[in-house]
Structure 1
Amino acid sequence: MVNPTRGVLYPARLPEFHRLVPTGPASDLVAWFWIPEWDIEPGRSSRQEIVGYPALNLVVEPRTVTLSGATTRATHRDLRGTGWAVGALLRPAAVAALIDDPAALVDTERVLDEPELLSAVEAAMCSGEGHRERAVEIFSRWLVALTGPPGAAALQANALVDVLMGDDAASSPDEAATRMAASVRTLQRLAHRHVGLSPAAMIRRRRLQEAAERLRVDPGLDLATLAAEFGYADHAHLTRDFRAVLGISPSWYRTGAGR
């Protein structure tokens, strides 16, 4: 089951939001598709704040297709009026077909000229009941045709992300290298080529996502206990990571301020 709110700092602010898991060949290319749809009354807005996964996103919205790089800090977007987006959280195997150097796209995005994908997804999203599933099917077919069968290095990069971000994830690059029977240097090259961030940065992002989620579920949790649970050296280390990425302290976040 895909957790629909992991990485979302304030889930109560979400508009109608769906995550759909890909099937068939697309499962090697996309972790999941995410589809928000909103209709916000005039004069109001809804701010969405995200601690993103260490991955690239390919996003189709009305009139535009964008490729967004991995992020090193929390990001936000203010939603207004009526709209939708269909995003693909890309697995590493999809990245090489879209960009030569994903590190150059970290914390930024690029508009892509993909009129066929744009028009087909727009038509699906306006097609009535079952529109989300049709949009994901079209998106999946387009990606599979673009990338072709993943090569060995791409599949190894997928495996790296599974080891770093999945259930029972590795707590260090050394542990990940041992599990994958590869050198840390090999993992660093894979991560740079297919994600744009280092394995250590990916681990830090996962720990911060999980720590924020635990605070939402249990705001009374002792911060020293939380820090130890997620592998931080101490409470101060957790607080530094929170401030560096989210811009706020864990103590402030757990009060529910601004939710």
Structure 2
Amino acid sequence: MKPDSSRPLDAIERAHLKDVDDASHIMYRYPVDPEFDGLLQRFWIPVWSVPAGQEAPQRVLQYPVSLLVVAADYARFYGVVSGLSTTTLTGEGWAVGVMCAPAAGALVAGGPMTAYTDRFVDVADVLGTAGSG
């Protein structure tokens, strides 16, 4: 089959190393409004349902950006992750995430991002009382 050159390559899908047989989740992706250009890149909402006793590892080649992710039981600020990250889905759930533009995480963190490399913290740890509501 010849590639369709009229359709741009989907860089998002290429980073998410999803097994073609993995039906554990649906990923919704949304662009940000133009007023956020240079600050935010995209929003995403994964919704998953993994049968009891099973796990669904999700592997993603990370972009060099920070993330804000809110789920039913947490709100986290993720620093830049080196290489491949793996999140193992279990049960049923959802999350809402926003990908910051490169270097925009320093604006959220109020300074250098080195303390957040390859780790996450509660949003309240970064935003103070503004992030605990």
> Shorter-chain TM-score category?
0.7 to 0.9
Pairing partner for 1:5 from 7, 10, 13: 13
TM-score relative to the length of structure 1: 0.41
Q: Which amino acid aligns with 2:132?
A: P
C-alpha separation in 2, matches of 1:39 and 1:60: 17
Pairing partner for 1:105 from 89, 112, 116: 116
Change (3 A) 1:93 1:75: closer
| Structure having the larger proportion of residues in strand | 2
Pairing partner for 2:90 from 80, 99, 123: 80
**Contact between 1:17 and 1:34, CA under 8 Å: does it hold in 2?**
yes
The answer to whether the aligner puts 1:57 opposite 2:74 as a matched pair is no
C-alpha separation in 1, matches of 2:66 and 2:73: 20
Pairing partner for 2:81 from 49, 60, 71: 71
Which residue is equivalent to 1:29? Answer: 39
User: Could you say what secondary structure the match of 1:5 adopts?
Assistant: helix
The number of equivalent residue pairs is 116
Change (3 A) 1:93 1:55: closer
Listed as ranges, the gaps of 5+ residues in structure 2 are 1-7, 125-130
TM-score relative to the length of structure 2: 0.76
Residue identity (%): 26
Q: Highest Rg: 1 or 2?
A: 1
Which structure has the higher relative contact order (CA within 8 Å, separation 6+)? 2
**Structure 2 counterparts to residues 162-173 of structure 1, below 5 A:** none
Listed as ranges, the gaps of 5+ residues in structure 1 are 117-259
| Structure having the larger proportion of residues in helix | 1
Cα distance, 1:28 vs structure 2 = 2.9
Which residue is equivalent to 1:130? Answer: none
Which residue is equivalent to 1:115? Answer: 132
C-alpha separation in 2, matches of 1:43 and 1:26: 41
